[in-house]
Structure 1
């Protein structure tokens, strides 16, 4: 596990270094990464995300467990079968929670999204599924959480993984991704709280769906997609305030995490005997 976290961070951070040093970051290198689909992150951030968590998980699984281990690791990546309710939870629960917290932070100032934004929502969700979701979740959930829960309790595993998942992102706060140079310490603090609490929510989904990685990926990118596509559209008074957006997301995920911990008595849906391939868990 130590090798995974060190290797994932090292590979990602080294790959991100040009982006951090560029004009998209601290400006030490007089080069700006070109934008694709309106963002420089596809060329600046995504390569490091792919190389780090998923690359480390693949390499270490091959070395430690061999062909059978890789087969099991890939099997969870292809484990689509789950009760339909979990697909609804993965796709709709996060947007619903973000709408509620957005209403609270905007004093109820909300408008209906445009047709163009509604039309773009599902394609962007699919796009983020194969970018952010595929880059991160085979490492954090499929490799790390799966192994942590064999040694520690589900709640302790979540408490270990959440801060480590947070730390992996930290260099990106020196780039446009993290709002540099305008972002305050509030954004970093709120993001850290969000990662740790949302990790508990994602651990619960991963466990309750029989360790279905596609459901974890959907849950993850539902948050990213709503934040990037819908947030400023339906909450215009909060547009451009990244600190407030992350604070709202942190509050919502913390409430959800507390409810899950209380209702599951800290088990987070983990039942090792039941969490078998193809299990239709409810």
Structure 2
């Protein structure tokens, strides 16, 4: 049975474990409905709402669904004050230089190595519009995938880590994250349509495991997981599917082994959705 204590003065109410079910339902409901319309009735959807593209409002809403869901739940349980506290997790920037190097050096090397294995280039081809256009896309990417982390690491990870070791929380989130992407593989005109789902799915689980120690090392901060996610969709890195996935599996195995003392115990795991939240479960 779950009990949520009445918030004390200055402390928001604790987001209960059952909220994670609502989080997943809202997230999937938004994304699968918006993208599903274009899969089931592409001609009608295009005529009614316009051709789907990376700049279409539906595309942004579908991508932002994890964050939208997170904000709804945080507002419900914590109110405006709770939302402000939740957003303060963006300012939790302290993390080891080792993890910073992992994000900014190791991840690009993985993509380059994967591309070379498939006889591809070290970097993605520069578009005719010049490097400036690519930099603009890189900046725009900050407001796509990284925004998802408000949900995956903002809500789902801390709730799951109250009840299980971080590695299993990462595996569960990665599995659900991969399934959440599934409709995109049936949407023509996207990069997903050219990929095989299985390596991508395995990659999602692997990435969710990899970001877990980064998330916990920062004390539950959202900045570093967002930067990690940003690197994954950096337009300068070449398309290395599926080789990047298999390299990342090896990297993840090394990372888990090196961090086994914290990955298999809840002792130092971040468990707060809203900093300073009060309440308990039993």
TM-score under structure 1 length normalisation: 0.75
Q: Residues 167 and 209 of structure 2 are in contact (CA less than 8 Å); yes or no, is this contact kept in structure 1?
A: yes
CA–CA distance in structure 2, aligned partners of residues 273 and 212 of structure 1: 12
CA–CA distance in structure 1, aligned partners of residues 123 and 245 of structure 2: 24
The alignment status of 1:142 with 2:154, answered yes or no, reads: yes
The alignment status of 1:153 with 2:165, answered yes or no, reads: yes
Name the counterpart of 2:138: 125
The alignment status of 1:99 with 2:99, answered yes or no, reads: no
The alignment status of 1:255 with 2:262, answered yes or no, reads: no
* 1:243-272 deviation digits (Å, cap 9, x = unpaired): xx3211211221111111111116349753
Name the counterpart of 2:211: 202
Structure 1 runs (4+) greater than 6 angstroms displaced: 112-117, 273-277
The alignment status of 1:188 with 2:197, answered yes or no, reads: yes
2:259 equivalent among 233, 247, 264: 264
| Pairwise CA distance, 1:275 | 9.3
CA–CA distance in structure 2, aligned partners of residues 153 and 268 of structure 1: 6
Q: Residues 54 and 137 of structure 1 are in contact (CA less than 8 Å); yes or no, is this contact kept in structure 2?
A: yes
* 1:3-54 deviation digits (Å, cap 9, x = unpaired): 111111012222223433465xxx565548458xxxx12214222222x211
1:1-282 equivalence runs, <5 A: 1-21=20-40, 23=42, 27=43, 29=45, 31=47, 33-34=50-51, 40-43=53-56, 44-50=58-64, 52-67=65-80, 69-106=82-119, 110=121, 122-134=135-147, 136-175=148-187, 176-177=189-190, 179-180=192-193, 183=194, 187-225=196-234, 228-231=235-238, 245-265=240-260, 267-268=262-263, 272=268
Q: Which moved more, 1:52-61 or 1:122-131?
A: 122-131
| Pairwise CA distance, 1:209 | 2.2
Q: Residues 124 and 236 of structure 2 are in contact (CA less than 8 Å); yes or no, is this contact kept in structure 1?
A: no
* More helix by percentage: 1
Q: Residues 216 and 269 of structure 2 are in contact (CA less than 8 Å); yes or no, is this contact kept in structure 1?
A: no
Gaps of 5+ in 2: 1-19, 276-282
Let me know the Cα RMSD of the aligned residues: 3.1
CA–CA distance in structure 2, aligned partners of residues 41 and 208 of structure 1: 33
- CA spacing shift, 1:215–1:223, aligned 2, 3 Å: same
| Pairwise CA distance, 1:126 | 2.7
**Larger RCO: Structure 1 or Structure 2 (Cα < 8 Å, ≥ 6 residues apart)?**
2
Number of residue-to-residue matches in the alignment? 248
| Pairwise CA distance, 1:149 | 1.0
| Pairwise CA distance, 1:121 | 5.3
CA–CA distance in structure 2, aligned partners of residues 3 and 112 of structure 1: 40
TM-score under structure 2 length normalisation: 0.75
